[in-house]
Amino acid sequence: MNNLKYGTLILFAFSLSSCLKTEFDEYTNSSGSANFSTFISVGDSYTQGLQDGGLHNEHNQQDNSYPAIIAKQMETSFVQPTVSGTGSGYMFLAYRNEKIVVVKPYDPDVLDNDAEALTYDPSYTNWVDKTVKYNNLGVGGLNVRNVVSRNTTEALEYHIYMGSSAPGVLSWNGVSGEPIVSYGRFLDWGTIGARREYIDNVISSNATFFTNWLGVNDAMAWSKNGGDPNSGAYQLTNPAEFRLKYDTVLAVFKAMGAQGVCANIHDITESPFFRTVTLEAVKKDIWIKEGADTTIIRKATPDDLLLLSSSSLIAKGDGLTQANPLPHQQVLDRDEVVIAKNYIQQINAQIYASAAAHGYTVVDMYAFMDKLNKGMTYDGVALSVKYIEGGAYSLDGLHPNSRGNAMIANELMRVINATFGSTLRPVAIANYGGIVFP
């Protein structure tokens, strides 16, 4: 019996000593050789946090801009010019007659707006306090050529008439020196007599760290308007000018001693905006008018990209006959696709050269977005380029949704860590919202 007691005692002691602690220690984060204390992001609508064809925040869309996500992981303060209410107005999904429909934002220039279309919030016309120093300097519609003007002509063309996708009522008021594009109104643009440029807003930021994803709009504005260069806003920026002004931005960062990373330009022609209204999906012959400089009317081939915006025209019967082709602004025809793709390669070469000359690393967004467009999965969430269902792009088919922004943030942080020896933790994609279904 003693043996039994003894044995039991041993067994008991053994199992007590082998406690069941399996918890992992909390991560200790370090910034490595980087200084994240004043972090700013420069860029266009992709950086500003625009989704669904507008700037809005009712489900934290703007709060989840990729730079804001990065800043959270850096544990540094990050002030964004956050809109309220419906923001600038945006697209949303409605469920009607057992069908999911996309409701476009209210457009004052057309007569057939959807009854439920969302217009800009009244607060949007004075949505900002210009005395605040914002960390997110992303401005929807900003091209590299707009960051600084070399002469008065450029100032008028690029600065005052910066590409506008905002409602007319929000345009230039002729007094305060604001640019036409309402997305930039939160910055201090000075007065007409004493202009402040975008670059001046960058200089006054005194950044210690930056991300720079300028350049997307230089390729996108032209492409998403069917390759129409007639309006000044929709040009492909001249590559030499692109390089010169990209250099200016990096020289400014270098002069203030800021560290950071640049991102190159992804192939926007592979976005859902260009890949949803396919002949396969329409199941009809579609007649198109070729680009602005030709009058050729022909049947669309699979190499012609019908824009997402053309779907409502096709629904109304446009493009179904030779007599009534789709207008050229609704098609990026096969020659224009080649132009856009080549242009992106061209300006990416300039970005790499400029970054190398100033000692900055480039994040290969081109490769990353290519991977996403081919289909990616994170933590059991499958994402693809498919419009709405794909789950990474927002309803405008160009800008990523919050989930897509989280992925982009992770990719940038991965490169920041590799470059500066920091340990920024990636975020869990699952915790960011995708499409809001009705």
Partner 1 sequence: MKRIVLAVLSLPMVVFAGGFQLNLQGIRSVGMGGAFTGLGSDASTVFFNPAGMNNLTGHNFTAGFNYVTPSVSLQTPETANINQTSPNATPFHVYYSGELNDRMKFGFLINNQFGSTSSFDDNWQGRYIIQNISLKTFMFQPTMSYKIHDKIFVGGGFVYTYGSFSTEKAVPVGSATTKEGKAKLSGSGDGVGYNIGIFSNVYSLVKETSTTDFKVGISYRSQIGVDLPGGDVEFTDIPVSLQNKFPAKTTFVSKITLPSVFTAGFSVKHTKNEKYSLEFAYDLNYTGWSSYDTLNFDFANNDTPDSKTTKDWQDVFTHRFGLDFTYKQKYSVRVGAYYDNSPVKDGFVSPELPDATQLAYTGGLSYKINDMISVDFSYIRQSAQRESSLESANFTAKYNRKVNVYGIGVNLKFGAKPKETAPSIN
Closer residue to partner 1 (CB): 24 or 193:
24
Point out which span in 33-41, 235-243, 355-363, 371-379 binds partner 1 (CB under 8 A): 371-379
321 forms bridges with which residues in the sheet? 324
Strand partners, 260: 210
Comparison of 17 and 131: residue with beta carbon closer to partner 1: 17
436 binds partner 1 (CB under 8 A): yes
- Provide the minimum distance between the beta carbon of 389 and partner 1 in the complex, in angstroms, as a whole number: 10
Q: Which of residues 291 and 390 has its CB atom nearest to partner 1 in the complex?
A: 390
Q: Which of 132, 345, 377, 421 binds partner 1 (CB under 8 A)?
A: 377
**Closer residue to partner 1, CB minimum distance, 25 or 112:** 25
* CB of residue 371 to partner 1, shortest distance in Å: 11
Smallest gap from Cβ 101 to partner 1, in A, equals 10
Site string for partner 1, 36-65 (x = CB under 8 A): -----------------------x------
Kindly write down the DSSP assignment for every residue of 230-268, as one continuous string.
SSGGGPPPPHHHHHHHHHHHHHHHHHTT-EEEEE----G
Is residue 117 a contact residue for partner 1 (CB under 8 A)?
no
- Determine contact, residues 39/74, Cβ cutoff 8 Å: yes
Distance CA 126, CA 377 (A): 40
Q: Are 311 and 277 in contact (CB under 8 A)?
A: yes
On whether the CB atoms of residues 141 and 183 are closer than 8 A, the answer is yes
Structure tokens at 338: 């080649």
Whichever of 152 and 431 has its CB closer to partner 1, that residue is 431
CA-nearest of 390, 413, 392, 389 to 402 is: 392
Contact indicator for 274, 220 with CB cutoff of 8 Å: no
Contact with partner 1 (CB under 8 A) among 89, 163, 179, 434: 434
The correct pick among 8, 123, 125, 301 for binding partner 1 (CB under 8 A) is 8
Task: Provide, rounded to whole angstroms, the least separation between the CB of residue 412 and partner 1.
Answer: 15
Which of residues 100 and 169 has its CB atom nearest to partner 1 in the complex? 100
Total residues in contact with partner 1, by rule CB under 8 A: 41
**What is the distance between the alpha carbons of residues 433 and 75, in angstroms, rounded to a whole number?**
21
Q: Is 380 in the site for partner 1 (CB under 8 A)?
A: yes
Among 282, 311, 376, 386, binds partner 1 (CB under 8 A): 376
Rule CB under 8 A: is residue 111 a binding residue for partner 1? no
Q: Which of 419, 422, 390 is nearest to 407 (CA)?
A: 390
Part of the chain binding partner 1 (CB under 8 A), chosen from 135-143, 210-218, 301-309, 430-438: 430-438
Instruction: Answer yes or no whether residue 421 interacts with partner 1 by CB under 8 A.
Output: no
Spatial contact of 95 and 65, defined as CB atoms under 8 Å apart:
no
Counting contacts by CB under 8 A, is residue 112 touching partner 1? no
* Residue 357 near partner 1 by CB under 8 A: no
Residue 158 to residue 68: CA distance in whole angstroms: 27
* Residue bearing tokens 């067994």: 11
Rounded least distance, CB 7 to partner 1, Å: 5
Backbone angles phi, psi at 12, to 5 degrees: -65, -45
From the number of C-beta atoms within 10 Å of its C-beta (0-12, 13-18, 19+), residue 388 rates as: middle
Residue 97 makes contact with partner 1 by CB under 8 A: no
